[in-house]
Homo-oligomer: A and B are copies of this chain.
Amino acid sequence: MNRKTPVKRTRAKQRRLSADDRRSEFVTKATELFAEEGFGGGTRALARRLGVTQPLLYRYFPSKDDLIKEVYRKVYLEPLEIGREKLLSDRSRPLRVRLQEFYEGYTDAIFNRKWLRIYLYSGLKGLDINRWYVGMVKDKILTRIVRECRHDAGLATQSRPSAAELELAWVFHGGIFYYGVRKYIYEAPVLEDKAQMISDALDLFLAGFERMAESATDRRGAPIKVVG
Contacts and interface: CB of A to CB of B under 8 A. Distances in A.
Interface of A: 38, 40, 117, 120-121, 123-124, 126, 130-131, 134-135, 163-164, 166-168, 170-179, 181-182, 185-188, 190-191, 193, 195-197, 199-201, 203-205, 207-209, 211-212, 224, 226-227
Contacts of A188: 131, 134-135
Contact of A167 (B131, B167, B190, B207): B190
A189 to B, nearest CB: 9
A218 B199 CA distance: 19
A225 B181 CA distance: 25
- Main secondary structure on chain A at its contact with chain B? helix
A135 to B, nearest CB: 7
A164 B201 CA distance: 10
16 contacts: A38-B38, A123-B181, A123-B185, A163-B191, A164-B196, A164-B200, A170-B178, A170-B182, A173-B178, A174-B176, A175-B175, A196-B226, A200-B212, A200-B224, A203-B208, A207-B208
